[in-house]
Amino acid sequence: MFNIIIKKQKSGFTIIELLVVIAIIALLSTLGSVVMNNARNKAKTSKAQHDIAQIEKAMNILANDTNEWPGHQTFDAVFSGNGNEICDDDCPFGLKATSSGLVATDGIFLNWAGPYMDTIPDDPWGHQYFFDTDYRVKKLSGDPCPVADPILCENVAVVGSYGPDGVGNNTYNSDDIIKILKR
């Protein structure tokens, strides 16, 4: 009689196969978090741009009613020099203050018919939006100009956010999100 010996193969994964699978999962996880982080940053930038557009609309209505920009600044004027910014704690007062005229009045705005906004939100990074009538931008591109160069840069009136780094008030950099109101 014939004896048949059947050899059973072991099933399972080798250590190399397990390491390859773990490496693939780690790579996919890293790519997923990079994509999510980029999407989150784009969403925050879009939110800031939307808020800035709303603030600009409110400022235009304020200017139509009172012929002034926030903080009793001359409507439709661009200045040179410092001290006319309306921003957060580094400035004399912010856009949320009654003297800005957007959410309340200090009683000095002639023909004020607001409030022009219920509230002014903080930007997506937790900082206040700003208004500046001597913000420096590059003449050709309109991008923030970090140096005071009269050949390459010009002063403009803007409303904006200091962006993710929150650095601002006469410190201009490429992550600022601005809307130019007047050149």
Domain ranges in the chain are 51-182
If you average pLDDT over residues 120-136, what whole number do you get? 91
CA distance 104 to 100: 8
CA distance 6 to 26: 40
If you average pLDDT over residues 61-72, what whole number do you get? 94
Q: Please check whether residue 79 is in contact with residue 181, taking contact to mean a CB–CB distance below 8 angstroms.
A: no
Domain 51-182 has CATH 3.40.1130: no
Integer-rounded Cα Rg, in Å, for the chain is 28
Three-class SS of residue 161? Answer: strand
Residues 140-165: tens digit of each pLDDT: 888 888 777 778 888 899 999 989 98
If you average pLDDT over residues 118-142, what whole number do you get? 90
Nearest residue to 69 (alpha-carbon basis) of 40, 109, 29, 36: 109
Using 50, 70 and 90 to split pLDDT, how confident is the model at 170? confident
Q: Please check whether residue 133 is in contact with residue 167, taking contact to mean a CB–CB distance below 8 angstroms.
A: no
CA distance 117 to 132: 19
Q: How far apart are the first and last CA of the chain?
A: 104
Q: What's the mean per-residue pLDDT of the chain?
A: 87
Percent of the chain with pLDDT over 90: 46
Which pTM was predicted?
A: 0.81
Nearest residue to 48 (alpha-carbon basis) of 129, 165, 157: 129
CA distance 47 to 55: 12
Dihedral, 39, 43, 44, 48 alpha carbons, nearest 10: 150
